[in-house]
Structure 1
Amino acid sequence: MRKSLPLTALAACAAVVCAAAPPSPRGSAPRETMVYIGTQGAGILSARLDDDSGKLSPPAAAAQVTRPTWLALDPARKLLFTVSEVGNYDGQNGEVLSYAVDPQSGALRPLSRAASGGGGPTHLSWASRAGAVFVANFGSGDVAALPVSADGRLAQPSSVQRETGSGPNPKQKSAHAHAATLDPSGRYVLVCDMGADKIFVYRYDRKSGALSPAPTPFLFTGPGTGPRNALFSNDGRFYYAITEHAADVRVLRWDARAGRLTPVQTAPLDPPGFTDHSASVIALSEDGRFLYAGNRTRSVLTVFAIDRATGKLAPVQEVSTGGLRPRGFALAPGGRWLLAGNQDSQTVAVFAVDRATGRLTQRGAPVPVGTEKPVSFAFLPLTPPKQPLR
């Protein structure tokens, strides 16, 4: 196991300027959530988010990992999973790592590391009902299932599927798996492939850990679209996928019995005539009423309201992220705060969320993170220390 070392890049971090919080009652500790920040640099960062004010502490080094660009958390068992995104273009295999999280301090303790099943792992998802993490390997175009033991240790991949295809964009010379997600039934894994312009559908056998092509093995999203990231609606009837090269959100009806996607709507993120598209990721409000989409070229987030009956999207707001190229963002537990990682300006912006309307309001100045380039987030509400009896 490699020893975690402090990161020198954080010397440039500055204090956060955010809206002032009302004073806490005498003797009570502020409610805090630990924020883990995945980066394109040398490690995972961590910071504390004040749940009442939205104030974010200056980020600090949490663990040394090469390019931990995507994080996933198992809040029940206090486990953090991360990719190590190496091997995008040189044929090397990437890795996946797991950490135990101290529920009071948020400190990370290394548990295990395993092969990612391909090169350039760019995304993973933890699925408790499957007992596994699913990894999308961008560089090699592979998707892999990695079983996870009861103590949080990763096994080597139980199954790997290599995707094929290409597209007209210069970045689409081969398949590039970019997001792997287990469906709510636990029987299928859906993979956005940015290089092949397809959303692949695989059967998943929990007993054997095997992935295999579904009877309808993929949905073609159109030439040069580049599906990049996706999620399911709360009721599991709809699958929302964001395309990088077309910069739109695809609303797709999901048939869990047949394992098949059906197009419903295409919601654009850029104005008519705009051609320099580069969308990033999407997020869903906890109540399932609003969807948030990232746009890297114009450095904005778009808020959509969701029609529960049809799954269709209606635009609500477009707001600047306060920095350059927001590759990743996420909603904190409870849905009051959204954090956006501005990759090129190396800052994290905090937004207050109006849970009635879905609208976002930036709180204070973006928080510097040194040279680490913030690109993903995971959250764990901290357990307050027990007070001694008097």
Structure 2
Amino acid sequence: GGWDNLLALIDLALLCGLLEKSGAGIHPVCEENNEQGAVDMGGVCEFLPGQVPYADGKERFEAIWNKPLPDSVGLSLPKIIEKGLRGEIKALYIVGENPLETLPESMRVRDAFEKIDLIICQDPFLTQTGKSADFVLPATTFAEKEGTFTNMEGSIRRVRKALDPIGEARTDFKIFSDLLRQMGGDVYRSPEEITLEIDTCVKGYYRGERLQGNPAHLGHYLGNGFAEEVLKRYAKTGQAGGGSGAASSAPAIQLVLGQSIYHSGKLSTQDEGLMKIYNKQTLRISEADAAALELKDNDWVRVKSDQGKVELAITILPSLTKGIVWFPEHFATLKDLMNVQVDPKTDVPYFKSGHVSIQKVPLFDLSVVSQSPSSFLPPQVREDKDEGDGAHNLPSPLEGEG
């Protein structure tokens, strides 16, 4: 998983004597915009604001907020789904996330949601998750509200509202404040009040100035117990790495779901302009693998894992390494082929890569539909039935990659 990979990189830098040298540290890259800021504000179950471990900061924050806090931390995403499947969650409030379209079918998100009595979805767009919710609270985008973003280097930047909220949409803090009012809690009247509370909870977090930091030093890594776990991290376990199993005798290939520079998560697929620039839902394959399978651009293949199969067109990408195929994660075409592995240390689900088998699929005559783009249908995951059923799911017309 990502956690072990990061630790291995830090260990390597430590062994090479790089951690004390300027410009030679380890800088993990967050996947989403302002992900660092969300963690800083306690937007994960294990931390309070300021990245304070829950158990360490519980009493301090109870004193600041003058409210009792739960005895234990909240639930991670996998545990929310686990408890949902067991009927142990009565209500779920989802803000700015779309798990039904983001997570693979193997996580059984829909099954879990069906057993939850109340689901509230707060989002700027009516996603598939929103359509399944009991209540939808329309929120604003970043351009319609005030706040801050924390970038990759840890610098905090002010975000100013560029336009008024559209339709019935409201900013997140106003929605939360109204809910707090109905529940008898304290109400925020402005973003400035929130900033003052942040300053109370996380001293020196943001005052509008450019932040300065000191470079890491070796004593930091050796003094906090990090190095004590090195032997454990590299002990032999006798366990091989896992991944999505290829459900075929055909040679296994590594499928990677990755990001396009033209999109961000599933959110950007709501934008008509970006979809015109980039809507190429084809499987990228290396020249070597294409030659081995006797494939050329726009040929069709059947991609199989132990979760099912999908048929779609391919694009040959010279920069890809042999044995690896790539598909943009912003589109849901292949996500349900992926198995999920949960990191035992971080409880984070991994499903962006796995082994699949790929077979060439001969196409039937497309002349009847070639003049009618509207007759094309998106690829779908189908149950693994007769290989020779001759059925094909055709994608909507593909735009160029720009």
The reply to whether TM is greater than 0.5 is no
Task: Kindly indicate which of the two structures has a greater share of residues assigned to helix.
Answer: 2
Say which one has the larger Rg.
2
Task: Kindly indicate which of the two structures has a greater share of residues assigned to strand.
Answer: 1
**What TM-score do the two structures reach when normalised by structure 1?**
0.22
**What TM-score do the two structures reach when normalised by structure 2?**
0.22
